[in-house]
Amino acid sequence: MTSNELKELFIKTYGEGGDIGTYFAPGRVNLIGEHTDYNGGHVFPCALTIGTYGAIRVRQDDVLRFFSVNFPKGGIVTSSIHSLAPGKDTGWANYPKGVIWTFEQKGHPIPSGADILIYGNIPAGSGLSSSASLEVLTGLMLSDSFKMNISMQDLALYGQFSENTFNGMNCGIMDQFASAMGQKDCAIFLDTNTLEYEYAPMKLDGIRVVVTNSNVKHSLVTSEYNTRRSQCEQALKELQEVVDIPSLGALTPEVFDFLAPSISDPVIRRRAKHAVYENRRTIDAVNALKAGDIERFGQLMNASHISLRDDYEVSCTEMDVLAEEAWKIEGCLGSRITGGGFGGCTVSLVKEEAIDTFQAKVGEAYTKRTGLRADFYVVDIGQGAHVI
Ligand code: GLA
């Protein structure tokens, strides 16, 4: 969508007049490093070229108005900058509201109201971070329109804070960070413990990133996610009785194996094992990529899926079918769940000449085994949030 198209939609919704700013924040796909970001581990996501667009016009009073092109039936949602509070309302507008509330919590209250229009092109329920992109987008719209000059990294942190406190999802920093800090044709190797990061080129000769949408989203995603997070916290607490570590990400698999018996519950032990081993896989995968060993990168992706399935238990039949069928295709280097799990998408690395076969065979087998249709996106890696 262009800036002019957005402005037209904005004027149709709210009327003429004043300066209208237009912005975009992308969704993300994570290549490897799943459920490590709230455990002080590493992640390796990249920004997509699909995401959420926004237009904003500052008002002179304290009224806030929100409209989503995707949910026209909801009409214009109206609020005030003084009446925002967590847990009060439901619906999509709770994401931008949460970010506005967060600005105040962080010492940057917005001085007046605004009219906001949103349009997103991330498939609903796909797990490609439509909510994080909406949060980062809102942050950028506010920071730019009210001339607050908040850094992109802080906008990512505000988005996460908002999601944790306003929307009740105890997510880590990965999704918002990728949406805010993404760079074209690169993945971000991020240490979530220190927020140090580096960009790694992902324009690979003859290999593409393919995202497969299972078109299922199981309920309980948020509650299961929050449970996994507290299980990891429990594991850390028990380990801290025998070793001085700030997070599970500080342990190597070797030390973990030695200390694991001090975690009493076998389920909690498996959760922690995933977090520790997945962190190592992520570091190894980035090293393999740097050394040009893409085959090894793919094998680590497969191992990641197996660990998410067996130790972390965030997979489901549909995701396992997609991964298993992908593993059978010659020219598919690796395939795994991406994102929180319980549905959503897999991410695969596929040789260009095998993409047609990949889509045909995986699609057919998926329908045969589950009765559902899969959608395939051969993705481009895009830029982080920006003015358009
Ligand atoms: C969701 C969360 C992220 C991350 C992933 C799992 O996408 O928002 O913070 O924890 O799940 O890796």
Cβ(34) – ligand 1 distance below 6 Å? yes
Are the C-beta atoms of 346 and 13 separated by less than 8 Å? no
**pLDDT value at residue 222:** 85
Identify the band that residue 149 occupies on the pLDDT scale cut at 50, 70 and 90. Answer: very high
Cβ(174) – ligand 1 distance below 6 Å? yes
Cβ(340) – ligand 1 distance below 6 Å? yes
The pTM assigned to this predicted structure is 0.97
Residue tagged 């238990």 (tokens): 313
**pLDDT value at residue 88:** 83
Which residue pairs, CB below 8 angstroms and at least 24 apart, start in 57-60?
A: 57/10, 57/14, 57/17, 57/18, 57/19, 57/20, 57/21, 57/114, 57/115, 58/18, 58/19, 58/112, 58/113, 58/114, 58/145, 58/146, 59/112, 59/113, 59/114, 59/115, 60/112
| pLDDT digits 0-9 by tens, 317-360 | 999 999 999 999 999 999 999 999 999 999 999 999 999 999 99
- 154 catalytic? Reply is no
Under 8 Å CB-to-CB from 47, ≥6 apart: which residues? 26, 27, 28, 178, 179, 181, 182, 183, 381, 382, 383, 384
Cβ(308) – ligand 1 distance below 6 Å? no
Q: Report which protein residue has its CA nearest ligand 1's atom 11.
A: 340
Instruction: Report how far apart, in Å, the C-alpha atoms of 116 and of each of 21, 138, 272, 385 are.
Output: 10, 9, 42, 17
**pLDDT value at residue 35:** 98
**pLDDT value at residue 316:** 96
Cβ(171) – ligand 1 distance below 6 Å? yes
Q: Report which protein residue has its CA nearest ligand 1's atom 1.
A: 340
Decide: helix, strand or coil at residue 165.
helix
Question: What is the average pLDDT across 351-376?
Answer: 98
Decide: helix, strand or coil at residue 269.
helix
Q: Report which protein residue has its CA nearest ligand 1's atom 8.
A: 171
| pLDDT digits 0-9 by tens, 5-54 | 999 999 999 999 999 999 999 999 999 999 999 999 999 999 999 999 99
36 alpha carbon – ligand 1 mean position (Å): 8
163 CA closest ligand 1 atom index: 8
Cβ(35) – ligand 1 distance below 6 Å? yes
Distance CA 351, CA 345 (A): 19
Question: What is the average pLDDT across 87-113?
Answer: 95
Residue 47 has which token pair? Answer: 């920004």
Catalytic residue among 61, 115, 154, 175: 175
34 CA closest ligand 1 atom index: 12
Does residue 231 carry a pLDDT above 90?
yes
Q: What percent of the chain has pLDDT over 70?
A: 100
Identify the band that residue 90 occupies on the pLDDT scale cut at 50, 70 and 90. Answer: confident
